[in-house]
Amino acid sequence: MPPAYDLILQRRGQLQTETVQVSDAAAAWRLGRDRYPKCIRGVVCRDHSPTDAAEPDSRS
C-alpha cells in the first residue's frame, strides 16, 4: 500500500487536512496542487514507518 500523506488546506481562513495515498511527497504535492490549487499549504508524510516515528530510538 502506498504511504499516506496529509494535505494541509486553507479554506475560509481555517486549516483543514485531507489524507491521500500516493507514492511520494512529489506526488502528494502534485495531487494537492491539481485538486486544490488555491488552498494547498503543506504536505505531511504520516508516521507510517519506524523511520518516521517521532520518538528517538530508545537504544541510542
Give residues in contact with other proteins (CB under 8 A): 5-6, 8, 10, 13-15, 17, 24-30, 33-34, 37, 41-47, 49, 51-57, 60
**With respect to other proteins, which residue has the nearer C-beta, 2 or 46?**
46
In the complex, the smallest distance separating the C-beta of residue 4 from other proteins, rounded to whole angstroms, is 10
Closest among 9, 7, 55, 60 to 29, alpha carbons compared: 7
In the complex, the smallest distance separating the C-beta of residue 13 from other proteins, rounded to whole angstroms, is 6
| All three cell numbers of 35 | 485538486
The CA-CA-CA angle for residues 24, 45, 26, to 5°, reads 30
Residue whose C-alpha cell is 506526488: 27
